Structure 1
Amino acid sequence: MPELRLGDRSLVAESGSNLLDTLLAAGVALPYSCRAGSCHACMVRCQGALEDAQPDALSPAQREQGWRLACQCRLQGDLAVELFDPGRDGLPARVQSVDWLSERVLRLRLLPERPLRYAAGQHLLLWNAQGLARPYSLASLPGEDTWLEFHLDCLPGGAFSESARCLQPGDPLRLGELRGGALHYDPTWSERPLWLLAAGTGLAPLWGILREALRQHHQGPIKVIHLADDPVGHYLAQPLLALAAAHSQLNVQLPTAADQASVLAGLRLVSRQTLSLLCGSPASVDAFARRLFLIGVPRNQVLADVFLPRA
């Protein structure tokens, strides 16, 4: 049976067992979120024999340094494991401001210790003082906003979001790995129709991408649909409508769950050049994608980022 070494601890594990499950069963406080190799919360440095289900999830440089995603690895032999240390490996940041955009959505703005190069649509791991880590999409606009902005859906019982409710300006956090995600804006899209479809806080990365498109003088029509459970859930309604009033090519729709079927049924493809960016829960992204497929939007022109629930 493989021996798993973690610092001065030595564990015996079943061959073929999942590395994340093995560490959690042994009481190791390893953060994790999606279990799908997307969020990168469970990064560990490994040396030894293992099977990696997603070898391309990390960059060649990261793999060369020994980094792996624990949720995607199975033990094949003896293995030495080193946990990601936010105090050593993370970028220090401090809270600039916290405010509520709705009853559930907390806007968190952070100032990193040094400037962070990123693009609209990317996401970051946030580490709190208790050692909890969660991935959140950036809602800020690089090169314009001086802060990093995140929109946290603070459902009751969420360990990270509950701690975020208590944050005050000046409080320290750590930033983990910057991830590309599937969503971005390409300046070559300037003349093409652009649809941005979001549910809940899936609006966060699309808010940054929308402002990036407008900053780069996007000429084609832009449609934004933000799906929320109820009218209160349209937490960026006023700034979205203000942008629509200032930009004639921008159309904003704010349906609730009760309107979802009729709004999606009303989508009509006017150009095969249409690009669609989707973000939200698996169910909402699936509903958006199915409708886009039915009306003829080419699959390679649909980009999606799914907010997976924590397993």
Structure 2
Amino acid sequence: MPELRVGTQCFSVTVGRNLLDALLQAGIELPHSCRAGSCHACQVRCLAGTPQDARPDALTPAVREQGWRLACQCQVVEDLEVVPFDPKRDGREARVLACDWLTDDVLRLRLEPLQPLRYRAGQHLLLWSAEGIARPYSLASLPGEDPWLEFHLDCRHAGAFCSTARRLQPGDVLRLGQLSAGALHYDADWQARTLWLIGSGTGLAPLYGVLREALRQEHQGPIRLIHLAHDKAAHYLAEPLMQLAEQHAQLRVELITAAELPEALAELRLVARRSQALLCGQPERVEDIARRLYLAGVPRNQVLADLFLPPAC
């Protein structure tokens, strides 16, 4: 059986054993949440040996070259030595610039990294609290234009990180984990296509960055942005989105509620085949919309989606 080493601990595991499960069973404390390769809380660095990785695209090539892997997506197939991500050692410091409530439930967090961070619109980043709580959030900021990293936190439901975030003050320090590649981005090859940006809840955050990137690159085709919220008061970016629509003739913004979703989905039958769609939000909403787009004739490879997965037990 392969041997798995973490620091001074060494133990045998069966071939094909999930790396996260093996570490937890051995008493190694490793943050984890979704178990689907989305939250990136369970990162480990491989010092010796190579695990079998089911999601090699989940981390950027530069991060993978440094040996980082997601433990939940790896299987132990040979002797392996790993070290868990340590935010104090491996993370970057970022200072809180501002915390303000966009609605009763959505907290906008703006951070200033103490070292420059290169990213692209639509990526997401793992945030670590001072208490060692890790949570991934999509970037809503636009690189090269916004002088901060912006995140939109949905605080409707109780959560350890949100509880900490409610107490944050300007000047407080968080730590940043590794950037995640994610599915959402803007490609200059889409210039002439109809661009659909559809988000539910704070799934709007990365789409807001992608939208502004598309406009910065002078996207020529129509852009249709749809934000789905549980009620009208939850359309937390309504004003800036409407201002963008007034400034750019090709942009159409629709703010709909859950009650209006069936009618909005029915209209998706009119989607052009060469449309490019970017979706983000709760899995059931995203899956419904992706299905409608497919039935409307949009090929699956022209529909990109990031899902906000709930924590796994």
Quick check: TM above 0.5? Answer: yes
Deviation at residue 11 of structure 1 after TM alignment: 4.5
Rate the CA distance shift 1:50–1:183 in 2: closer, same or farther, 3 A. Answer: closer
Q: Which residue of 2 aligns with 1:206?
A: 207
Report the secondary structure of 2:227's partner residue: strand
The offset of 1:2, in angstroms, is: 5.0
Quote the Cα distance in structure 1 between the aligned partners of 2:123 and 2:52. Answer: 28
Checking the alignment, whether the CA contact within 8 Å between 1:99 and 1:106 is kept in structure 2 is yes
Q: Is the 8 A contact 1:154 1:161 kept in 2?
A: yes
Per-residue CA deviation, residues 237-268 of structure 1 (Å, 9 max, x unaligned), is: 12112222222221111111111111110224
Q: 1:49 to 1:108 in 2, by over 3 A?
A: closer
AA partner of residue 45 (structure 2): R
Change (3 A) 1:60 1:199: closer
Counterparts of 1:182-221 in structure 2 under 5 Å?
182-221=183-222
Q: Is the 8 A contact 1:156 1:162 kept in 2?
A: no
Identity of aligned residues (%): 66
2:94 and 2:120 map into 1 onto residues whose CA distance is 18
Contact 1:123 1:179 in 2 (8 A): yes
Aligned residues: 311
Q: Tell me the distance in 2 between the aligned counterparts of 1:90 and 1:198.
A: 29
The residue that corresponds to 2:256 in the other structure is: 255
Partner of 2:181: 180
Distance 2:132 2:50 in 1: 28
Contact 1:269–1:296, Cα closer than 8 Å, also in 2? no
Residues 1:288 and 2:278 aligned together: no
Give the C-alpha shift of residue 56 in structure 1. 4.7
Q: Deviations over 1:145-179 (max 9, x none)?
A: 10000011113321111111111111111111112
In structure 1, runs of 5+ residues without a counterpart are none
Q: What is the aligned partner in structure 1 of residue 42 from structure 2? A: 42
Letter of the structure 2 residue corresponding to residue 7 of structure 1: G
Instruction: Give the partner amino acid of 1:115.
Output: P
SS at match of 1:255: strand
| Cα distance in structure 1, aligned partners of 2:187 and 2:242 | 24
1:91 is the counterpart of 2:92: yes
* CA 78–235 in structure 1, closer or farther in 2 if over 3 Å, else same: same
Distance 1:99 1:211, change over 3 A: same
Structure 2 equivalent of residue 102 of structure 1: 103
Structure 1 residue 49: Cα displacement: 6.7
Letter paired with 1:40: H
User: Residue by residue, what CA displacement relative to the aligned partner does 1:101-151 show, whole Å, maximum 9, x if unpaired?
Assistant: 112111000000122121111111111111121211100011111000001
For the residue of structure 2 that corresponds to 1:188, the secondary structure is: helix
Deviation string 1:170-209 (CA, Å, 9 cap, x unpaired) is: 1111111112211111233222211111111110000011
Greater CA drift, 58-67 or 249-258: 58-67
In structure 1, the partner of 2:229 is 228
TM-score (norm 2): 0.91
User: Alignment partner of 2:262: what SS?
Assistant: helix
Please give the alpha-carbon distance, in whole angstroms, between the structure 1 residues aligned to 2:253 and 2:263.
16
State the AA in 1 paired with 2:75: R
Distance in 1 between residues matched to 2:243 and 2:61, nearest whole Å: 43
**Cα contact 1:96–1:110 (8 A) shared by 2:** yes
TM-score, normalised to structure 1, is 0.92
**70-79 or 187-196, which deviates more:** 70-79
- What's the CA shift for 1:50? 4.1
**RMSD over aligned Cα, in angstroms?**
2.1
1:138-153, aligned counterparts within 5 Å? 138-153=139-154
In the alignment, residue 244 of structure 2 is paired with which amino acid? L
What residue number does 2:129 align with?
A: 128
TM-superposition CA deviations, 1:60-115 (whole Å, max 9, x none): 55445432211022334543321112222111111000011112111000000122
